[in-house]
Chain A
């Protein structure tokens, strides 16, 4: 079955450590996105990528980094520079008029 897979579903890290969230899609979608969601809030765009080896900052890119070496993969690294990393992270992909989301990764930094 085609879809978007985010892993892991829950992730715990100590403060000051970098952590990488995985997002893989087998939908042959060109564009991929990372969003952050805080409790009771909407989704805010972190980074997005339209094609391989290219990506753009969203509204809240500070403290995050991404790569797009393969069409299927768009990993997000939460660096120690991110002041409040604890949040729910969602990955999405789209092509033309289709757009689908993964089930999210809940990151807790202690």
Chain B
């Protein structure tokens, strides 16, 4: 199973872009990369996902390297409400398992 590694914590000033990295060096060809965030022990909230192309939605952008071994979640204008734990997940193509990474605790400060 592909595993992910993320920095334990990051800080970001309000209004600036938050760039959260994720390493998934053992990802296989049909596995998707998902990003979720969890605010204070609520259920994780879906942010974005991608296979190999960069993706953008109203919440964030996802940049996946050409070799697919790493990705970056970008919150273009972080707000205090974006303070949360962000999880990078690899979706196993054959078993549908959602394998969580360690998560990055993002603190947005005024």
Contacts and interface: CB of A to CB of B under 8 A. Distances in A.
Contacts of B85: 42
Instruction: Please classify how large the interface on chain B is, using the bins under 10, 10 to 19, 20 to 34, 35 or more.
Output: 20 to 34
A99 B41 contact: no
A97 interface: yes
B50 to A, nearest CB: 9
State the majority secondary structure of interface residues on A: strand
Interface stretch (B13-21, B73-81, B94-102): B94-102
Contacts, number: 58
Contacts of A78: none
Contact of B43 (A58, A97, A101): A101
B49 interface: yes
A22 interface: no
B42 interface: yes
Interface of B: 32, 34, 36, 41-46, 49, 85, 87, 91, 95-103
7 contacts: A33-B97, A42-B87, A42-B102, A43-B87, A56-B95, A101-B43, A101-B46
